[in-house]
Amino acid sequence: MPRSGDSLFQLTPKEGEPKHSKVAIMSRSSNGVVQALLTDLYQITMAYAYWKSGKMDDISVFDLYFRRNPFQGEFTIFAGLEECIKLMQSFHFSESDIEYLKTVLPSKTDPKFYDYLASLSANDITLSAVPEGEVVFPKVPLITITGPLAVVQLLETPLLNLVNYASLVATNAARFRMAAGPETTLLEFGLRRAQGPDGGLSASRYCYLGGFDGTSNVLAGKMFGIPVKGTHAHAYVTSYITLEDLKIKTLTSLDGSSEFNFIDLCLKYQKELAGVIGFLPDQVMAGELAAFISYAQAFPEGFLALIDTYDVLKSGLPNFCTVAMALNDLGYQAQGIRLDSGDLSYLSNEVKARFVKVANHYSLPWFEKLTIVASNDINEDTIHSLNQQGHSINCYGIGTHLVTCQKQPALGCVFKLVQINKKARIKLSEDVDKVTIPGMKNVYRLYGADGTALVDLLQDSSEVPPKQGDRVLCRHPIQESKRAYVIPASVRALHEIWWHNGKVMKPLPTLTELREKTKQSLRTIRQDHKRALNPTPYKVSVSSSLYTFIHELWLESAPIGELF
Amino acid sequence: MPRSGDSLFQLTPKEGEPKHSKVAIMSRSSNGVVQALLTDLYQITMAYAYWKSGKMDDISVFDLYFRRNPFQGEFTIFAGLEECIKLMQSFHFSESDIEYLKTVLPSKTDPKFYDYLASLSANDITLSAVPEGEVVFPKVPLITITGPLAVVQLLETPLLNLVNYASLVATNAARFRMAAGPETTLLEFGLRRAQGPDGGLSASRYCYLGGFDGTSNVLAGKMFGIPVKGTHAHAYVTSYITLEDLKIKTLTSLDGSSEFNFIDLCLKYQKELAGVIGFLPDQVMAGELAAFISYAQAFPEGFLALIDTYDVLKSGLPNFCTVAMALNDLGYQAQGIRLDSGDLSYLSNEVKARFVKVANHYSLPWFEKLTIVASNDINEDTIHSLNQQGHSINCYGIGTHLVTCQKQPALGCVFKLVQINKKARIKLSEDVDKVTIPGMKNVYRLYGADGTALVDLLQDSSEVPPKQGDRVLCRHPIQESKRAYVIPASVRALHEIWWHNGKVMKPLPTLTELREKTKQSLRTIRQDHKRALNPTPYKVSVSSSLYTFIHELWLESAPIGELF
Q: What is the DSSP string of B104-169?
A: HS-TTS-THHHHHHHH--STT-EEEEPPTT-EE-TTS-SEEEEEEHHHHHHHHHHHHHHHHHHHHH
Instruction: List CB contacts of A70: < 8 A, sequence separation 6 or more.
Output: A76, A168, A171, A172, A405, A407, A408, A411
CA distance A201 to chain B (A): 7
Mutation site, A164, A228, A400, interface B, largest B CB count within 10 A: A228
Q: Work out the pLDDT band at A67, boundaries 50, 70, 90.
A: very high
- Taking phi over 0 as left and psi of -120 to 50 as alpha, with beta for the rest, B80 belongs to left
Distance CA A222, CA B104 (A): 9
A200, A302, A311: residue with CB nearest B27: A200
A25, A38, A295: residue with CB nearest B28: A25
Q: Using the beta-carbon criterion (under 8 Å), do B41 and A298 form an inter-chain contact?
A: no
B193, B231, B405: residue with CB nearest A42: B231
Give the mean pLDDT of A451-463.
97
Distance CA A190, CA B198 (A): 16
B32, B200, B238: residue with CB nearest A38: B200
Angle at A378 between CA A374 and CA A380, to 5 degrees: 120
CA distance A229 to chain B (A): 5
Chain A CA closest to residue B104 = A228
Q: What is the pLDDT at residue B197? A: 81
Q: Work out the pLDDT band at A9, boundaries 50, 70, 90.
A: very low
Instruction: List CB contacts of A49: < 8 A, sequence separation 6 or more.
Output: B232, B236, B294, B295, B297, B298, B299
Q: Work out the pLDDT band at A562, boundaries 50, 70, 90.
A: low
Distance CA A225, CA A513 (A): 12
Chain B CA closest to residue A430 = B342
Distance CA A180, CA A380 (A): 9
Q: Using the beta-carbon criterion (under 8 Å), do B106 and A216 form an inter-chain contact?
A: no
| CA neighbor of B341 nearest in space, from B311, B317, B369 | B311
Q: Work out the pLDDT band at A555, boundaries 50, 70, 90.
A: confident
Q: Using the beta-carbon criterion (under 8 Å), do A222 and B97 form an inter-chain contact?
A: yes
Q: Using the beta-carbon criterion (under 8 Å), do B166 and A223 form an inter-chain contact?
A: no
Distance CA A166, CA A123 (A): 25
Mutation site, B34, B42, B143, B556, interface A, largest A CB count within 10 A: B42
Q: Using the beta-carbon criterion (under 8 Å), do B299 and A49 form an inter-chain contact?
A: yes
Q: Using the beta-carbon criterion (under 8 Å), do A7 and B247 form an inter-chain contact?
A: no
Q: In what order do the strands lie in the sheet with A453-460?
A: A483-486, A472-475, A540-542, A453-460, A441-447, A490-493
Element (H, E) at B506: none
Q: What is the pLDDT at residue A406? A: 85
- Give the single-character DSSP code of B294: H
Distance CA B224, CA B188 (A): 14
Q: Are B217 and B193 in contact (CB under 8 A)?
A: no
| Chain A residues in contact with B372 (beta carbon < 8 A) | none
CA distance A244 to chain B (A): 12
Distances (CA, A) of B425 to A231, A504, B420, B448, B495: 21, 57, 7, 33, 21
Helix, strand, coil % over all residues of chain A, rounded to 5 = 40, 20, 40
**% of chain A with per-residue pLDDT over 90:** 83
Q: What is the pLDDT at residue A30? A: 55
Phi and psi at B416, nearest 5°, equal -125, 140
CA distance B223 to chain A (A): 6
Would you call B116 exposed, middle or buried from its count of C-beta atoms within 10 A (0-12, 13-18, 19+)? middle
- Chains A–B, number of C-beta pairs less than 8 Å apart: 561
| CA neighbor of B25 nearest in space, from A511, A78, A120, A172 | A511
Q: Are A236 and A289 in contact (CB under 8 A)?
A: no
CA distance B448 to chain A (A): 33
The pLDDT tens digits for A158-175 are 999 999 999 999 999 999
**Exposed e or buried b per residue across A213-245, where buried means at least 16 C-beta atoms within 10 angstroms of its C-beta:** bbbbbbbbbbbbbbbbbbbbbbbbbbbbbeeeb
Distance CA B501, CA B491 (A): 28
Q: Work out the pLDDT band at A560, boundaries 50, 70, 90.
A: low
| CA neighbor of A332 nearest in space, from A298, A355, A288 | A298
Q: Are B187 and B212 in contact (CB under 8 A)?
A: yes
Q: Are B146 and B440 in contact (CB under 8 A)?
A: yes
Instruction: List CB contacts of B77: < 8 A, sequence separation 6 or more.
Output: B133, B134, B135, B136, B167, B170, B171, B173, B174, B209, B210, B518, B521, B522
Q: What is the pLDDT at residue B107? A: 92
The pLDDT tens digits for B116-172 are 999 999 999 999 999 999 999 999 999 999 999 999 999 999 999 999 999 999 999
Residues of chain B with pLDDT below 50 are: 1-25
Q: In what order do the strands lie in the sheet with B304-306?
A: B214-215, B185-188, B395-398, B371-374, B336-339, B304-306
Mutation site, A198, A315, A337, A346, interface B, largest B CB count within 10 A: A198
Distance CA A528, CA A78 (A): 20
SS3 A536: coil
Neighbours of A273 (CB within 10 A): 24
Q: Strands B185-188 and B395-398: what pairing? A: parallel
SS3 B499: strand
Q: Using the beta-carbon criterion (under 8 Å), do B294 and A404 form an inter-chain contact?
A: no
Mutation site, B4, B7, B9, B234, interface A, largest A CB count within 10 A: B9
Count Cα atoms within 13 angstroms, Cβ side, for B256.
Answer: 1
Count Cα atoms within 13 angstroms, Cβ side, for B210.
Answer: 33
Distances (CA, A) of A117 to A56, A105, A110, A308: 11, 13, 12, 59
Distance CA A177, CA A410 (A): 20
Q: What is the pLDDT at residue A164? A: 94
CA distance B538 to chain A (A): 25
Distance CA A352, CA B285 (A): 70
Task: Tell me the sheet residues that pair with A196.
Answer: none
| CA neighbor of B374 nearest in space, from A348, A9, A247 | A9
What single string gives the DSSP state of each residue in A313-365? IIIIHHHHHHHHHHHHHTTPPP-EEEE-SS-HHHHHHHHHHHHHHHHHHHT-G
B40, B304, B315: residue with CB nearest A217: B40
Q: Using the beta-carbon criterion (under 8 Å), do B164 and A309 form an inter-chain contact?
A: no
Q: Using the beta-carbon criterion (under 8 Å), do B394 and A246 form an inter-chain contact?
A: no
Distance CA B287, CA A20 (A): 42
CA A86 to chain centre: 18
Torsion of CA A131, A137, A138, A139, to 10 degrees: -50
Mutation site, B40, B160, B372, interface A, largest A CB count within 10 A: B40
CA distance A470 to chain B (A): 37
CA distance A522 to chain B (A): 21
The alpha helices in B493-560, defined as continuous H runs, are 511-523, 527-530, 544-557
Count Cα atoms within 13 angstroms, Cβ side, for A26.
Answer: 20
Question: Over B436-465, what HEC string results?
Answer: CCCCCEEEEEEECCCCCEEEEEEEECCCCC
Question: Over A398-467, what HEC string results?
Answer: ECHHHHCCCCCCCCCCEEEEEEECCEECCCCCCCHHHCCCCCCEEEEEEECCCCCEEEEEEEECCCCCCC
Q: Using the beta-carbon criterion (under 8 Å), do A55 and B294 form an inter-chain contact?
A: yes
Q: Work out the pLDDT band at A27, boundaries 50, 70, 90.
A: low
Mutation site, A59, A195, A229, A243, interface B, largest B CB count within 10 A: A195
Q: What is the pLDDT at residue A5? A: 36
The pLDDT tens digits for A363-417 are 999 999 999 999 988 999 999 999 999 999 999 999 999 999 888 888 989 999 9
| Chain A residues in contact with B561 (beta carbon < 8 A) | 283, 314
Q: Strands A453-460 and A540-542: what pairing? A: parallel
Phi and psi at A250, nearest 5°, equal -110, 165
**Exposed e or buried b per residue across A289-325, where buried means at least 16 C-beta atoms within 10 angstroms of its C-beta:** bbbbbbbbbbbbbbbbbbbbbbbbbbbbbbbbbbbbb
| Chain A residues in contact with B65 (beta carbon < 8 A) | none
The pLDDT tens digits for B87-126 are 999 999 999 999 999 999 999 999 999 999 999 999 999 9
Chain A CA closest to residue B150 = A236
Mean pLDDT score of chain A: 92
Distances (CA, A) of B561 to B428, B548, B558: 14, 21, 8
Q: Using the beta-carbon criterion (under 8 Å), do A44 and B412 form an inter-chain contact?
A: no
B58, B197, B241: residue with CB nearest A38: B197
Q: What is the pLDDT at residue B416? A: 95
| Chain B residues in contact with A313 (beta carbon < 8 A) | none
Would you call A453 exposed, middle or buried from its count of C-beta atoms within 10 A (0-12, 13-18, 19+)? buried
| Chain A residues in contact with B201 (beta carbon < 8 A) | 25, 27, 38, 196
The pLDDT tens digits for A255-295 are 999 999 999 999 999 999 999 999 999 989 999 999 999 99
Start-to-end CA span in chain A (Å): 53
Q: Using the beta-carbon criterion (under 8 Å), do B284 and A18 form an inter-chain contact?
A: no
Q: Using the beta-carbon criterion (under 8 Å), do A248 and B54 form an inter-chain contact?
A: yes
ipTM score assigned to the predicted complex = 0.90
The number of residues in chain B equals: 564
Neighbours of B561 (CB within 10 A): 9
